[in-house]
Structure 1
């Protein structure tokens, strides 16, 4: 916008696109809140001032923050929104909880580069049906994201299982040297077009037969690109320490940071082991960059995995292709209705999805509060009865864990969802309320913010989110309407050349 000229010839900026007045800024660095007014212009944060210094400015839009908190927009580092940012670009489940950036391509599954020979293999089917996979190169995916103009920013990992499905005739074996070489070619192409790194989902049936040597070879292109290695561990159950050791070995070999996805102690026999697990992570941190993400719930969600069928926890079926009427019912009730055991019921439901109530509060609290942990929702947007984390993960951290449980201060909660997340994934000029940074911002009421989504009624927008800006555009208004605006200003965020991700805590 236009500027005024002082008598001494200096330019004095007096106009901007947006003025956000009377807010308590929590800037994402972990620092204490401070009262300020904030000016936005050209998609960036132009000025942050106190004592009414911006009151004389002119702006196309002026927002009175009424003393509420203005923080960086939340960065959801663990999502499966790969195809949804294109097919449903309004992205209301994320935007309504203050998320301004998503990292896709987690757990070894990504929408690109993918050339399907048949239906997508499990768990790639979590991203949609075969028609959703139309990006044979990563460059074509980047182009599709930017053409769709989603309401939020998108950064992407490349899935190991996706690469395997492109190059292998079947996935129940190790890849050959030539197949690994072909996978590396595709990975390098993706890294050249801005992918953040490689993800694996070694617990899943279509990747579990991949030996460590296969992943070691695939991880080698990461270092030269300054990329990262993110992993859904080979086991989150009794063998979790061995699985963590494997992840650390891969990171050391590739000389890249390691991110352990959705860190948890799953299964009744694993409850109470979080101190042991975190001690192993801290030990690894002495020698290499290691971090983790966590979602703020004691239940997980994925496809219905026969290896996880047990009578020691509650398992809710969320969808079933051959038995759609069973969605929303407990597996135990379905088995009783059919007069079969749990395993036979699970087999009859395949392919299907499920929520597993497999964790303990104390373990989740300990992992979530650890300095190495950032927040990711792991929401499944294509599930007809999704886990409530899809709509509620970030306000749940603010409301339930910070305000009510007092697990950590609000400044720490926000850092885990913004500044630390941006550092972890190498997202430059994001994650802080700082002059010159991109204006990804959320205005919320710290006294009322909370998750409204439940397991019975999961598709509910959060309470207390007042407004969300993405790249300076007012993209969501809360209040009674809880609706996106007509502005969609998200874009693909490429990994910046020369910028290395960190795992600073």
Structure 2
């Protein structure tokens, strides 16, 4: 008789490879934080200190949220319930050019670093200090991190409305190297934002040069997701080729009413680029984006919801149109009065979102903003929405493909060793869910809602979420880049 810490019995294993499976039930044993064995159900040679009857539900690798802004949330709210409750066991932070480290502020954080939290939360002048803080906080989920270009710029430049000098780029590059030495996954940019848009392509190319030697990658919130998106994609590809590293396009979308219907054109450009370099993308399963309130995006063409406002916090959760009508102002003047603020933009077409989600190059990321007073529902619902709405209800892809987009493909892309698959010897990041009932319940009106159909979540072999409740033991850890296996982003 073999003894294990945990045995999960009678489950249908969806292993994260994308391979279709039959309805055969298995038992899965966990010991010392790792998957110790997988066998046909009913093997009475196994006993667990804890045993769970999966009752024919699906057991998959824990979901990997490849695009988050949880940088400070994993430390300030380490229970991480918005992610744990939807089956996420690993978050990748530091996206869109903004990261919690390395950061040394002399005043308020520049836009869009305000999305991460207030000035007093930025307490990590070195990447090593941030890694230590994660270890001290021991969040409920694993954390892997990118380094933000805008964060580096604000550390070393007197103003951000210009290109960096050679000396400033060299100083930024030194901090990037220090982060890479401590396992950072790579460099991210947010070139669409006001405090990064003045950066030239050449600035980013030079900054990205240390990435290849570290086996790291380059991720980017494109310079524009609107009319000029193809040129912005070409710029991202050029940076990747210069640095000799894989590229990940963040939250790929066709934004703005004038851009609707272009997903085929955009994906054709992505496929053409894949012929000569490693490039992939992530997306979230909603037709609305969320960020800071940008006056340049204020329009009557689609609804805009206010999710946070410093001078008028009482307006969070209301539409800009409602607020403008109440104040008897134009949309633009109302937006000015609300700033600094954050907003949801209902700026995508359903057909474009579905086409991008279905593409083999696309992994899933929530892009949720935990600091918002009234967040976009993707913070709590992105992963079950893919499983329930897009896979089960709409049939956009199979369950096995949906799981791969959230697990095995993501781990491979970002160089997360021994994660993302249900395989003997791999870390036991696992989610038990009911394929027939799993769904998102978070809405734009009521965004803080647990997913339905998520039965249990294990992080590094520790039961962390069960029957709708977080469990007392948090077992997340910092995950460094696995340097011996450089990340890949080609569609597979």
Q: TM tier, shorter chain?
A: over 0.9
Contact 2:9–2:41 at 8 Å: present in 1 too? no
- State whether structure 2 residue 477 is matched by structure 1 residue 485: no
- Report the equivalent of 2:7: 19
Q: Secondary structure, in 3 states, of the residue corresponding to 1:45?
A: strand
1:280 to 258, 269, 273: 269
Deviation at 1:338, TM superposition (A): 1.9
Describe how 1:58-69 pairs up with structure 2 within 5 A: 58-69=47-58
- Report the equivalent of 2:40: 50
Task: Output the CA distance in 1 between the equivalents of 2:294 and 2:206.
Answer: 28
Report the TM-score when normalising by structure 1: 0.96
Describe how 1:13-412 pairs up with structure 2 within 5 A: 14-33=2-21, 34-53=24-43, 55-412=44-401
Deviation at 1:223, TM superposition (A): 0.5
The worse-fitting range, judged by mean Cα deviation, of 304-313 and 292-301 is: 304-313
Deviation at 1:336, TM superposition (A): 2.0
- State whether structure 2 residue 449 is matched by structure 1 residue 463: no
Task: Output the CA distance in 2 between the equivalents of 1:384 and 1:348.
Answer: 18
Deviation string 1:115-150 (CA, Å, 9 cap, x unpaired) is: 001011111011100111000000000000011010
Q: Which runs of 4+ in 1 moved over 6 A?
A: none
- Report the equivalent of 2:482: 496
Q: Secondary structure, in 3 states, of the residue corresponding to 1:312?
A: coil
Deviation string 1:44-87 (CA, Å, 9 cap, x unpaired) is: 0000001522x232221000000000000000000000001011
Task: Output the CA distance in 1 between the equivalents of 2:318 and 2:66.
Answer: 30
Deviation at 1:341, TM superposition (A): 1.5
Unaligned 5+ runs, structure 1: 1-12
Are residues 409 and 191 of structure 1, via their aligned partners in 2, closer, same or farther at CA, if it must alter by over 3 Å? Answer: same
Q: Secondary structure, in 3 states, of the residue corresponding to 2:395?
A: coil
Deviation string 1:431-471 (CA, Å, 9 cap, x unpaired) is: 00000000000000001000000000000000000000000
Report the TM-score when normalising by structure 2: 0.98
Task: Output the CA distance in 2 between the equivalents of 1:32 and 1:344.
Answer: 53
Contact 2:68–2:93 at 8 Å: present in 1 too? yes
Deviation at 1:406, TM superposition (A): 0.5
Deviation at 1:339, TM superposition (A): 2.0
Deviation string 1:3-55 (CA, Å, 9 cap, x unpaired) is: xxxxxxxxxx71110000000000000112242100000000000001522x2
- Report the equivalent of 1:473: 462
Q: Secondary structure, in 3 states, of the residue corresponding to 2:210?
A: helix
Unaligned 5+ runs, structure 2: none
Aligned pairs, number: 489
Task: Output the CA distance in 2 between the equivalents of 1:326 and 1:14.
Answer: 59
